[in-house]
Amino acid sequence: MSYKKLRVWQGAMEIAVEVLRLAEPCRNFALVDQIRRSAISVPSNIAEGITRESEKEKNHFLNIAKASNAELETQLLIAMELGYFEQDVCKRLLQQQQKVNFQLHHLKNKVALKARPT
């Protein structure tokens, strides 16, 4: 299965691209660096995990993607609180981020089921 066909990867990519565009004019370089890294990490680790051979490795990278997604949520909340991003844009991104989180949870469960001996 190609990771590019996964809705969770597609959603994470949309968020990453939008976050990178939004972060461009921000003058808080520390926050911008962290938010870029976490936004890029989510789809990157989904892609890497899905292309791994073993279910254990897949699960490992999906765990990293899930953790990066939580990190991204925190950074979006900070950026919104500090007024770096418009609230309506941030709220929409946070909704998308929650959807990705839900999809990652289900994908991890699917991978775990395949790893169980029958």
Domain of 60, CATH number, reads 1.20.1440.60
Cβ atoms of 94 and 73 within 8 Å: the answer is yes
pLDDT in tens, 5-56: 999 999 999 999 999 999 999 889 999 999 999 999 999 999 999 999 999 9
Query: How many domains does the chain divide into?
Result: 1
pLDDT range class, residue 99, cuts 50, 70, 90: very high
Domain containing 53 equals 3-115
Q: Record the pTM.
A: 0.93
Q: Which two tokens stand for residue 54?
A: 């073993």
Cβ atoms of 9 and 47 within 8 Å: the answer is yes
Give the Cβ contact number of residue 64 at 10 Å.
17
